Amino acid sequence: MAKIPPVKGTRDFYPELMAQRNWITDGWRAVSCRNGFVEYDGPIFEHLQLFTQKSGPGIASELFSLTDRGGRDLAIRPEMTPTLARMVNQQINALPRPIKWFSMPRCCRAERPQKGRLREFFQWNADIIGSDSVLADAECIYTALDYLRSVGLTAEDVEAKISSRSMLAALLVDAGFAEDELDPLYQLLDKKPKLPAEAFNEMVEQQVPDAAQRENIMRLQAVRSLDELDSLAQSDAAKESLAELRELFALLGTMGVADYCRFDISIVRGLAYYTGPVFEIFDKSAALRAVGAGGRYDNLLAGLGGQKVSGTGFGMGDVVLGILLEEKGLLRSANTTLDYFVVDAGPELFTQALELVCQLRQQGFAAGFDYRRTNIGKQMKQAASQGAREVLILGQETIDKNEITIKDMAQGTQKTMQLEDFMAEIEQR
Amino acid sequence: MAKIPPVKGTRDFYPELMAQRNWITDGWRAVSCRNGFVEYDGPIFEHLQLFTQKSGPGIASELFSLTDRGGRDLAIRPEMTPTLARMVNQQINALPRPIKWFSMPRCCRAERPQKGRLREFFQWNADIIGSDSVLADAECIYTALDYLRSVGLTAEDVEAKISSRSMLAALLVDAGFAEDELDPLYQLLDKKPKLPAEAFNEMVEQQVPDAAQRENIMRLQAVRSLDELDSLAQSDAAKESLAELRELFALLGTMGVADYCRFDISIVRGLAYYTGPVFEIFDKSAALRAVGAGGRYDNLLAGLGGQKVSGTGFGMGDVVLGILLEEKGLLRSANTTLDYFVVDAGPELFTQALELVCQLRQQGFAAGFDYRRTNIGKQMKQAASQGAREVLILGQETIDKNEITIKDMAQGTQKTMQLEDFMAEIEQR
């Protein structure tokens, strides 16, 4: 029979890699919970239409689609937002607001694997729905940064670049653009940081034939601080959005993450549904794709058949994050250590050894033993190969005196004590 | 825009259901770890051929299959075993043995949803590969029962029915069946508990035309205890397997789970690759499908292009388990409680309130606050709606004295103390 390889762009989580993945997701969960988010999840596949209705039919080619026995078109989720919107819409009148949810879904995209992009990945999502307060936006940005800070990334390593879609909209309208020109403009401006200046300028010339209009865009894109915007923000809408953005930065200051945050007008987010503050988090060397990104969306739920309820949230994938943490020497693993390995000096002691193993397990300790009834030396080797922290040795002489020998595998030290005292001691651990 | 429903046979994990799922998977993980298993995972989809090579082309209609952009046939995993075999085969010479792994994969089957069977489910898998000791079989059965016991299911509630495929094979060969008649016979016998006696007998008559041979099968199926087998087990192979089965029961006794275990010759397992002890765990009312099942497989890895390495393991799904736990009143939820909700008596205190929230979070507590700057009464209501355990109230008078008021939401009691003392106190928690 032939050996069949894994599918390209997927990962096999052997125990070592799995422990790293668990360490990342454990951290996401802990930080979500302490910031008051509760966990949810949806199915791994949805009706294809849910994804095309949100993102347009063009998305279909980026999806892993399938057909069920009833001939229905389905697709594996490429992101969590459509499922979130569907679930919230289904229960909108029953859910107490604000809805403050997080999830860590496995998602799949049928794209060519490359650095930072795989065909299967995990993406932390945190969203607050049903509050239009800028406090909710601050909470989301804070939560993303709280995680990154908790794993040891400093303001020297990562930065949240923050702007506002509503402010950009107001400034563009003030500059003479029509409402229906805005969506294509967002998509254009979203490409700016990803393109060489020349290529970008060429695209602007094509999309905005009027030179004065182009000038307005370039002047906006050249803005480097909120203060520079004071003179540009003329309309009430622009002033209001600017004030909101200032408040957002003030709140992030109060929350203790100001040094991670910077205003950057080039942050636009390509998707049509963003309507307020938007942000992207990058490593400061800017060598990688965004570590996380999000923003406020007022039209997402209504766009998927629901009421007009405002929300704000973000996503953070495990792939770019993992590369960044590895580069910085910060990637850790969830604990998988065997606490105790029980060794016996002879087959006549094995029943006692097995009973001790089960007692330890009932106390909540990870405990093992050798499946081969070999000599102590070989059993000790097995204990080492399984990475046990301590080895408990049952010898005939010691057992006759109700004693047990404990070997610390890291220190190499060994001591003998009353079995009773040992059991009392570990009950305290 | 139309509301799009979820796909039939899938579940939306709203926070309440998610907390139950997390409680189940947290338990699986904890019990796996204390029994010395380490976690792994694979991709959600594989090359279709991996599944057909293991289970035959007939499996394809039970799979959610998909095609990638390169035209390759893929399928969502319906079970974990093929992925496990693929991963172990890839690294067989590098992995220290025994390989003692567990996983809790999301799996999908394109079948009609019914009670205890959904199109998407989670399945706990634990396997020990590279040891042919019956100790490894005992470990697997013990681990499955250890979990069920840990959630409060007693020997009155559930039972592991245990037999041995190698013993059955030897007995059938002793009774005159040819080796190549065995696989179809296993599939036939596996159906016995699921069919009315009449229908089963009819199938036996069809498959085994010889009356004497049928008599032999029926006599075997009537066996109720290991002792009854002593006279039937004539060949060395049969005697050896019977001795192994006796040892298995003795080990399970030493491990403290004898009362959960019973010999049942009708347990066969349909799949061709089982070669030793096999078991299925049922609720004793027998109203539900098996809660879990497994056994020893000597040919699985070789059948998927690997070396001949023996293994033993089991699977336990979350759907039947969840129904059983709910019926018994034993289904619990992972903790999602908000530890603290901070309330302020007026907008001028809000900055201090927000700082306190962030301080609490840095201590690891789940803390929240109201996004609306409303009066204390409304903020208290929000705290209750979010299920906060304690509310911390910042009032102008108390804050001037560096005091804080703490309300226990369950007790309804309230006390005021120095903010400093409070912070020192919670640092101890």
* Chain B environment of A311 (Cβ under 8 Å): none
* DSSP annotation string for B141-178: HHHHHHHHHHTT--TTTEEEEEEEHHHHHHHHHHTT--
Q: Nearest CA to B271 among B237, B296, B235?
A: B296
CB pairs < 8 Å spanning A and B: 241
Please name the residue ranges forming H helices in A363-418. Answer: 376-385, 396-400
Q: Nearest CA to B338 among A33, A383, A333?
A: A33
Beta-carbon neighbour count of residue B50 at 10 Å?
24
Q: Does A60 touch chain B (CB under 8 A)?
A: no
Q: What's the whole-number mean pLDDT along residues A158-167?
A: 97
Give buried/exposed letters for A64-103 (b at 16+ CB in 10 A, else e).
bbbebeeeeebbbbbbbbbbbbbbbbbebeebeebbbbbb
How many CA atoms lie within 13 Å of B87's alpha carbon, on the beta-carbon side?
25
pLDDT for B28 equals: 98
pTM: 0.96
Q: Nearest CA to B158 among B311, B410, B330?
A: B330
Interface test with B, best of A101, A371, A382, A385 (most B CBs within 10 A): A371
* Amino acid, res. B364: G
Whether residues A64 and B64 touch (CB distance < 8 A) is answered with no
Query: How does pLDDT run across B22-55, given as a tens digit for each residue?
Result: 999 999 999 999 999 999 999 999 999 999 988 8
Can you tell me the distance from the alpha carbon of A338 to that of A359, in angstroms, rounded to the nearest whole number?
Answer: 15
Q: Does B7 touch chain A (CB under 8 A)?
A: yes
Q: What's the whole-number mean pLDDT along residues A32-41?
A: 97
Tokens 């949803």, residue?
A: B113
Q: Per-residue pLDDT for A429 more than 90?
A: no
pLDDT for B239 equals: 96
pLDDT for A193 equals: 83
* Amino acid, res. B183: D
Q: Does A169 touch chain B (CB under 8 A)?
A: no
* ipTM exceeds 0.90, yes or no: yes
* Chain A environment of B381 (Cβ under 8 Å): none
pLDDT for B21 equals: 98
Q: What's the whole-number mean pLDDT along residues B386-399?
A: 94
Q: Does B328 touch chain A (CB under 8 A)?
A: no
At A310, list the tokens.
Answer: 């405002």
Q: Does B251 touch chain A (CB under 8 A)?
A: yes
Phi, psi of B310 (to 5 degrees): -85, 150
Of chain A residues 257-296, which have a CB less than 8 A from chain B? none
At A132, list the tokens.
Answer: 């239009």
Q: Nearest CA to B95 among A373, A1, A6, A385?
A: A385
Whether residues B131 and A43 touch (CB distance < 8 A) is answered with no
Q: Per-residue pLDDT for A340 more than 70?
A: yes
The burial class, CB within 10 Å (0-12 / 13-18 / 19+), for A24 is buried
CB-nearest partner of B14 from A40, A45, A68: A40
pLDDT for B205 equals: 92
Q: Does B57 touch chain A (CB under 8 A)?
A: no
Task: Check: CB of residue B79 under 8 Å from CB of residue B123.
Answer: yes
At B256, list the tokens.
Answer: 């403290």
Interface test with A, best of B29, B35, B37, B66 (most A CBs within 10 A): B66
Residues A209, A231, A239, A136: what is their CA dihedral angle, to the nearest 10 degrees?
A: 90
In angstroms, what is the C-alpha Rg of chain A? Answer: 28
Task: Check: CB of residue A159 under 8 Å from CB of residue A280.
Answer: no
Query: How does pLDDT run across A101-149, given as a tens digit for each residue?
Result: 999 999 999 988 888 899 999 999 999 999 999 999 999 999 999 999 9
| DSSP element (H, E) containing B337 | none
* Amino acid, res. A374: T
Can you tell me the distance from the alpha carbon of B278 to that of B244, in angstroms, rounded to the nearest whole number?
Answer: 12
The SS3 assignment for B13 reads: strand
Task: Check: CB of residue A276 under 8 Å from CB of residue A137.
Answer: yes
Q: Per-residue pLDDT for B406 more than 90?
A: yes
Q: Report helix, strand and coil shares of chain A as percent, to nearest 5.
A: 45, 20, 35
Query: How does pLDDT run across B150-161, given as a tens digit for each residue?
Result: 999 999 999 999
Whether residues B47 and A7 touch (CB distance < 8 A) is answered with yes
Q: Is B56 left (phi over 0), alpha (psi -120 to 50) or beta?
A: left
3-state secondary structure labels for all residues of B187-251: HHHHHHHHCCHHHHHHHHHHHCCCHHHHHHHHHHHCCCCHHHHHHHCCCHHHHHHHHHHHHHHHH
Task: Check: CB of residue A164 under 8 Å from CB of residue A247.
Answer: no
First to last CA, chain B: 50
CB-nearest partner of A65 from B66, B100, B303: B66
Phi, psi of A267 (to 5 degrees): -80, 115
Query: How does pLDDT run across B268-317, given as a tens digit for each residue?
Result: 998 778 999 999 999 998 788 999 999 999 989 998 899 999 999 999 99
Q: Does A71 touch chain B (CB under 8 A)?
A: no
The SS3 assignment for B395 reads: coil
Whether residues A64 and B66 touch (CB distance < 8 A) is answered with yes
Q: Does A50 touch chain B (CB under 8 A)?
A: yes
Whether residues B5 and A47 touch (CB distance < 8 A) is answered with yes
**Per-residue confidence band for A154, with pLDDT thresholds at 50, 70 and 90:** very high
At A213, list the tokens.
Answer: 């209009």
Q: Per-residue pLDDT for B1 more than 70?
A: no
**Per-residue confidence band for B71, with pLDDT thresholds at 50, 70 and 90:** confident
| DSSP element (H, E) containing A425 | helix A419-428
Q: Does A152 touch chain B (CB under 8 A)?
A: no
